[in-house]
Structures are given as structure tokens and as C-alpha cells.
């Protein structure tokens, strides 16, 4: 249990194995949609900037687009977090401050020094990103705020008395 600002006791969300599995499936599906955005924007940028020396720039732009998409969907639907958005974004930004330079170096090196295909490097990097980001979000970003978002009442008549 943790204590809130009001001094009240608050239970920490404990997820069952089934809930963890559903969470992982949602994360993979949202990551796949972010992957479509990343690969699509990467492919478009590859057409506009075909030089291998610019792999880093194509990767960086496509990564930022997919991260914004993925963060928004996963916060709302996968982790159902009511955590402060700027704080959660800063934590994710911290992850990418480590992940991005490493993968920029790795990708540029594999493409330029070893002749690997741009898209193969991009796909492998995306898989590594998905796995490590899920773990980071689960155990760092949303550790204490999973399932804290209140459900919206979708039944318009629920609060009205029938006449």
C-alpha cells in the first residue's frame, strides 16, 4: 500500500497472470501499429534520402513518430494509467536517451561498415525496442500507476432515472 497526498491508503494494482498476458498482447499490437508508422515513414524517407550515410536521420525521424503514437495508445489502453503525462513522458524520454544513441551507432555501423540492409537493421532494432520498452514501461514508467485511470461511463442513461 502507498499513501496518497490526503494521507489515505491506496492499494497498488496487482495484476493476475491473465491481465499481464492481455497487457502484453495489447502492447505488442500497439507496437505493431507503431511499427507500421515507423517502417512506413522510414521507407518514405529512404526514397527521399537514399544515401546510406543518412541511415541515422531516417531512423531518428521514424522513431520519434512511432514513439509518440505508441506512448499515447499504451498509456491509455494498455497500462490504463492516470499518472502525470509529462512525468511519464520524461521517463520514456529517459529510456530513449539511452536506447536511441546505442541503436543509432549500432544501425549506422551495421549498414555502413558491414553492408547490412537498412530495413533488416530497422526491423531488428524495432524488435529490440518493443521488448525492452515493454519491460521499462511495466517496471519503471507505470509501475505504481497501472489501472489507475477511472473508467468512463459509456451508458448515457446510467445516471438518469427512467421516466
- 3-7 contacts at long range (C-beta below 8 A, 24 or more positions apart): none
pLDDT (tens digit, 9 = 90+) per residue, 56-72? Answer: 899 899 989 999 999 99
Give the least confident one: 119-128, 136-145, 151-160.
151-160
Cell of 58: 531516417
Burial grade of 89 (CB within 10 A; 0-12, 13-18, 19 or more)? middle
| CA–CA dist 58, 67 (Å, integer) | 14
Task: Indicate the pTM of the whole model.
Answer: 0.76
Residue 122 has pLDDT above 90, yes or no: no
SS3 label, residue 90: helix
| CA–CA dist 128, 118 (Å, integer) | 16
Q: What is the pLDDT of residue 12?
A: 59
**Taking each helix axis from N to C terminus, what angle separates 118-136 and 17-48, rounded to the nearest 10 degrees?**
150
What Å distances lie between residue 117 and 16, 18, 23, 124, 155, CA to CA?
41, 38, 33, 11, 51
Higher pLDDT, 48 or 2: 48
pLDDT (tens digit, 9 = 90+) per residue, 74-119? Answer: 999 999 999 899 999 999 999 999 999 999 899 989 999 999 998 8
Residue 11 has pLDDT above 60, yes or no: no
| CA–CA dist 24, 97 (Å, integer) | 24
Residues 86 and 101: beta-carbon distance below 8 Å = no
How confident is the prediction for the chain on average, in pLDDT? 85
Confidence band (pLDDT; 50, 70, 90) for 161? very low
How many separate helices (H) and strands (E) can be counted in the chain?
Answer: 4, 2
What is the chain's Cα-based Rg?
Answer: 20
Amino acid at each position: 500500500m502507498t499513501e496518497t497526498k490526503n494521507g489515505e491508503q491506496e492499494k497498488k494494482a496487482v495484476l493476475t497472470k491473465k491481465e499481464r498476458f492481455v497487457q502484453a498482447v495489447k502492447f505488442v499490437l500497439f507496437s505493431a501499429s507503431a511499427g507500421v508508422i515507423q517502417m512506413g515513414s522510414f521507407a518514405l524517407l529512404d526514397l527521399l534520402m537514399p544515401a546510406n550515410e543518412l541511415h541515422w536521420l531516417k531512423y531518428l525521424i521514424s522513431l520519434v513518430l512511432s514513439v509518440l503514437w505508441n506512448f499515447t495508445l499504451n498509456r491509455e489502453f494498455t497500462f490504463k494509467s492516470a499518472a502525470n503525462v509529462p512525468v511519464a513522458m520524461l521517463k520514456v524520454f529517459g529510456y530513449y536517451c539511452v536506447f536511441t544513441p546505442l541503436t543509432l551507432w549500432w544501425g549506422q555501423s551495421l549498414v555502413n561498415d558491414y553492408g547490412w540492409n537498412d530495413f533488416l537493421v530497422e526491423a531488428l532494432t524495432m524488435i529490440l525496442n518493443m521488448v525492452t520498452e515493454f519491460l521499462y514501461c511495466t517496471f519503471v514508467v507505470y509501475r505504481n500507476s497501472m489501472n489507475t485511470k477511472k473508467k468512463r461511463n459509456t451508458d448515457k442513461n446510467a445516471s438518469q432515472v427512467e421516466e
